[in-house]
Amino acid sequence: MEPFSHFNAQTIDDAVLILRRYSDRAHVIAGGTDLIGKMKDRILPGYPEALVNIKTIPNLGFIETRNGMVRIGPLCTLEEIANSEVITHHWLALTQAAARAASPHLREMGTIGGNICQDIRCWYYRNPNNRFPCLRKGGGRCYALEGDNRFHSIFGGSVQEGCYAVHPSDVAPALVALDGRVKTTKRTVPIEDFFSVSVQKTTILDADEIVTEIRLPLPVEGTKSAFGKFALRASIDFPIVNCAAAVTVSQGKAIAARICLNAVYVTPYRPAASEEAILGKPLTDVNIERAADAAVSGAKPLSRNRYMVQIARTMVKRALLACR
C-alpha cells in the first residue's frame, strides 16, 4: 500500500474533526476488510490521504434493547450479531444474514456499520489500478452494459448515473425488512433512504459523517422474519441474490409485509408489488407463489444475467415460506 496518515480517534467528534480537516480525502476505517482491499488494488483514481480509525472510540459496540427497540452500535462485529441471543429471538433475519456474510475470520473483523457502508463489488469497478474508469469513478460509461454483466442489476441502472453494479451487502436487506433506522452524526433516516448511488458513494453519508447507531423496532406480535442467500459457494462468497422478509400474521392473514432483495439492483430492492400481493391474504403456497411472481414482474435483465430473475423469484418465495 502507498503511504497515508493514520489517526486513532478518541471520540466521534474527534473523528468528524479529522475528516473535516481532510475534506473528502480521508476515509473512516473500522474493520477495514473492504477498504484495505480497495487500497491494495488501487481501484480508485485517488488514494486516501488519511485513515481515521474509529475502533479506538470506546462504547460503540453495544447491543441494547430498550423502549421497544434494539440499538446496535456501528462497531458490533458481524460475529457478535450472529451470536446475539436477543437479536436471534426478535430479529431472526438479521442473525441469519450476519451469519451468512463472508467467512468466519471476516465476520470477526467486519462491523455492521462497515457492512452497510461497503462499496460495490462490480468487477469493472474493482479491477486493479483503475483499469476501467467507470461512471462510479466519475468516468464516462458503464463497462458492464456491453461487457460481462452476469452479476449485475436485473432491475435497471441507477437513474442519475446509469451504473448497473449491485449492492453486495447481506445485512442490508435484513435491516430493510426489519424496518431499521440509521443514526449518523448528522441525521436519522430509515435504512432504505440510507443507500444512494453517486460517484464513489453507496450511501448518503457526507465526507465528514459517521454512522453512530442502527435501530430496529421490536416486531409486533405475530411477526416472523427470515433471510436466505444464494451464492456460488456456501462459505466466503458474495450473494448472487439474497432476500429477507418480515411478515406479521394476524387471524390467519398477513397484515404487514416487508420484503427486500439485494444484489439485484444498485441499492437494496424492495419489491413493492410482491408486498402488496401478499397483504391481507393467508400465507398459502398459492399466495406465496403469486407474491414471488410479482417480485420479478418488473425485471429488466441484461444480456447475461437473465438467470438471476429465476433465482430472485425463488429467494422471495423461500423467505416468505420461512415466515409461515
The region of 117-125, 133-141, 192-200, 233-241 touching another protein under the rule CB under 8 A is 233-241
> Which residue of 32, 138, 147, 217 would you call a contact of another protein, by CB under 8 A?
32
Strand partners, 307: none
All three cell numbers of 166: 449491485
Could you tell me how many residues of this chain bind another protein (CB under 8 A)? 29
Choice between 2 and 221, CB closer to another protein: 2
For the sheet containing 223-230, what is the strand order? 223-230, 241-250, 253-262
| Least distance from another protein to the Cβ atom of residue 84, Å | 16
What three-state secondary structure class fits 44? coil
| Least distance from another protein to the Cβ atom of residue 25, Å | 14
Choice between 59 and 235, CB closer to another protein: 235
6 part of the interface to another protein, by CB under 8 A: yes
51 part of the interface to another protein, by CB under 8 A: yes
189 part of the interface to another protein, by CB under 8 A: no
Choice between 129 and 235, CB closer to another protein: 235
252 phi and psi, to 5 degrees?
80, 0
Interacting positions 76-135 with another protein (CB under 8 A): 79, 102-106, 108-109
Choice between 106 and 279, CB closer to another protein: 106
Choice between 169 and 223, CB closer to another protein: 169
234 part of the interface to another protein, by CB under 8 A: yes
Choice between 24 and 108, CB closer to another protein: 108
| Least distance from another protein to the Cβ atom of residue 4, Å | 6
Q: State the pairing for strand pair 5-8/181-184.
A: unpaired
| Least distance from another protein to the Cβ atom of residue 49, Å | 11
| Least distance from another protein to the Cβ atom of residue 114, Å | 12
Choice between 6 and 300, CB closer to another protein: 6
All three cell numbers of 266: 444498485
**Which helix (H) or strand (E) is 242 found in, with range?**
strand 241-250
| Least distance from another protein to the Cβ atom of residue 37, Å | 5
| Least distance from another protein to the Cβ atom of residue 36, Å | 5
Which residues contribute to the site for another protein (CB under 8 A)? Answer: 1-6, 8, 29, 32-33, 36-37, 40-41, 51, 53, 55-56, 79, 102-106, 108-109, 234-236
